Amino acid sequence: MSRDAALREALRARLEWLRILGVSDLSRPKGPMARTAAAHDMVPPVPAAEGAERPAPGQHGLFVPAEPDADVPAPRAASAASPLLAAVATDGIDAATALRAIRDDLGDCRRCRLCERRTQVVFGVGDPGARLMFIGEGPGADEDAQGEPFVGRAGQLLTKMIEAMGLTRSQVYIANVVKCRPPENRTPLPDEVATCSPFLFRQIAAIGPRVIVCLGTPSAQAILGTRETITRLRGTFRDIGGYRVMPTFHPAYLLRNPSAKREVWEDMKKVRDILQAAHA
């Protein structure tokens, strides 16, 4: 298939996916909201096959599920197939350069309503060559003010978790599903996730982490393409397109429910063991 044909097919899939999400206005914004579409804007995850569990509105899978390893339980919920990796392949480009290109493409983003009340775009931070990546839901007030993910109270707890694993923040990569703070820290809406998540997917493709830790329900649902909550998902690895994905509780949840820290630590020990085994 030619590149033009592939882009047309990707656009067709994106329009169909937005209809499924219930986004009725598919026109480009006018005035200051207008922006020329980039190739990645045309490449969304496509719906799961007929008979499979459909992702909740605004949540969709990241990669085509690979055959699980013998020691990795099969996903309890179906993931939607995605042409994303092939569309944003970064072969021959180092991760740092690829991330800079993604950030430049994101720019002073005004692609969705989240731009209206945010202070700044919160792209991501950490080692471009990280073997471990943490993904949250979206920036909070502290992150919006400082321009870096996970710097508030929840971020300080995440830092302690990382250090307890024998790592530092500079050795991992941290990002969110959406790059702008939702008003009052509400859950991102379906069209906001559909608009912003391709940038996250491109970050993942550029970094190529060995393990992805999804922090909280919105992150896990967006990556795994499921309607299940984090309570049911946490603690079990999913093997998605060659990436080990570990869903666990968000640090903000742990601040409200300290007793859950033990469960998260068990999850993090599993992640640590995978990284150590891969490094051996």
Three-class DSSP category at 238: strand
Reported as a single tens digit per residue, the pLDDT across 208-222 is: 999 999 999 999 988
- The values of phi and psi at residue 235, to 5°, are 90, -5
CATH number assigned to the domain covering 3-279: 3.40.470.10
- pLDDT-derived band at 93, boundaries 50, 70, 90: confident
* Mean model confidence pLDDT for the chain: 77
- Whether the CB-CB separation of 35 and 105 falls below 8 Å is answered with no
pLDDT score, position 249: 98
- pLDDT-derived band at 51, boundaries 50, 70, 90: very low
Ordered strands of the 132-136 beta sheet: 125-126, 173-176, 132-136, 211-215, 243-248, 238-240
What are the residue ranges spanned by the domains of the chain? Answer: 3-279
Question: Which pairs from 274-278 meet CB under 8 Å and 24+ separation?
Answer: 274/210, 274/211, 274/237, 274/244, 275/131, 275/132, 275/210, 275/211, 278/131, 278/210
Residue 223, token pair as written in the block: 């990556």
Reported as a single tens digit per residue, the pLDDT across 176-189 is: 999 999 999 999 99
Cα Rg of the chain, angstroms = 18
**Residue 173 pLDDT > 80, yes or no?**
yes
pTM, two decimals, is 0.72
